[in-house]
Amino acid sequence: MKKELLIASALVSTLGAASAANAVTATISGAHMTALKGIDTDAADSKITHDVSSDFSVSLSETTDGGIGIATSFMLANESADLGLQTAGLTLTFTDGSKLDVIKAGNAAASHDVSVPGAAGNPGVTVVTTNNAQTGLDFFGEATAIGVEWHSAADFMADGLKISASVSADDGIAAGGTAALESSWGLGATYVTSAGDTAITIGAGIADSEFKDSGQDVDGSNGFHVGFSAVTGDLTVAAGYANGDKIRVDPEVAIFDNSVSSVGVKYVAGDVTLSAGFTSAEGDDSATNALTTAGGSNDTKDETMLGISYAVASGVTANIGWKDIDAQNDGSNDTSGGSSWYVGATMSF
């Protein structure tokens, strides 16, 4: 980590000199999370592990004489085992407030899913890979790197309304032993309004993706999500629902009629934030790699989450989290489900 930070410092110093000469604004950000995590499953004895993740990223931006903003970003280090290094494409911001993402633009449906409160920190149990129930509201929103996503300005056609649209094209990746994404499109919208002292946010999205396998087109991912969030003072209540099909590439499997229901609540009391959430997901996954017909095997996951966060100082947050996963794989009890607790801290800059 020390070597990475030294390299990052040298790069940022060089970048700073370049930005001064070329008038590009460079900003850095990052975070480090460290904690103890306990895991107790039906299949194994309980254990305590050290959970750690770090990231270090750079954002670049500039505005043309015509008022169009140009921005991108890249990550210098990410030591989380799941995320890997990520590099953004380009974002163009126009004078009317609208934006256009080009190259690795993403899917517009995923841009408008509502955030539902859950646990604090990173508690979790790794359920067996053959359990394919998807628990995220945007589980179907794929996109290739060759794509664009347009975001409207605020108050588009109505006060409080923002919309997005995206499309991506075939990037030529071979679909041999595993399926590959061929193209996708997505639409999303967020509407913000108020009812008395309560601020209400409604988000929705729809998307469709086409895949190919061994040179042949196959049924792809598709679906919709809808959710809402209501904030009254320090209290937040949110819920969301999603339904659709998904092609999972690694391991290759088709998941049909997957549904996700999530509900959560958050309360802020000074420097302390209390949160709780529940997610229920189920889907039928194919027993073969045909990717076109369901095998009829039903997978489920029920996740119960609790969290406490305390703002110790500026940029420093202590987290206590707990998650319980009750899972069934192919209609039978999944013994890799269980519970997990998390005690740690996050330092951000």
Q: Which CATH number does the domain housing residue 263 bear?
A: 2.40.160.10
Instruction: Give mean pLDDT, residues 202-223.
Output: 86
Would you say residue 287 lies in a domain? yes
* Nearest alpha-carbon partner for 71 in 25, 12, 20: 25
pLDDT in tens, 239-288: 999 999 998 877 788 888 999 999 999 999 999 999 999 999 999 887 55
pLDDT at 20 over 90: no
Which of 3-12, 21-30, 117-126, 205-214 is the least confident region?
Answer: 3-12
Are residues 228 and 203 in contact, defined by beta-carbon separation less than 8 angstroms? Answer: yes
Structure tokens, 171: 């990037």
Determine the pLDDT at residue 22: 57
Determine the pLDDT at residue 18: 43
Determine the pLDDT at residue 64: 93
Q: How big is the chain by its Cα radius of gyration, in Å?
A: 22
Instruction: Give mean pLDDT, residues 288-294.
Output: 59
Total-model pTM: 0.84
Determine the pLDDT at residue 15: 46
pLDDT in tens, 40-97: 987 777 899 999 888 899 999 999 999 999 999 988 877 765 555 667 889 999 999 9
Length of the chain, in residues: 349
Q: Are strands 235-248 and 222-232 parallel, antiparallel or unpaired?
A: antiparallel
* Nearest alpha-carbon partner for 241 in 345, 138, 334, 105: 138
H-helix or E-strand spanning residue 46: none
Would you say residue 321 lies in a domain? yes
- What total of structural domains would you count in the chain? 1
pLDDT at 188 over 60: yes
Would you say residue 147 lies in a domain? yes
Would you say residue 21 lies in a domain? no
* Structural domain for 239, as ranges: 2-16+31-348
Determine the pLDDT at residue 9: 47
Would you say residue 130 lies in a domain? yes
pLDDT in tens, 139-172: 998 999 999 999 999 999 999 999 999 999 988 8
The residue written with tokens 């919208």 in the block is 189
Would you say residue 328 lies in a domain? yes
pLDDT at 349 over 50: yes
Are residues 6 and 13 in contact, defined by beta-carbon separation less than 8 angstroms? Answer: no
What is the phi/psi pair of residue 195, to 5°? -135, 100
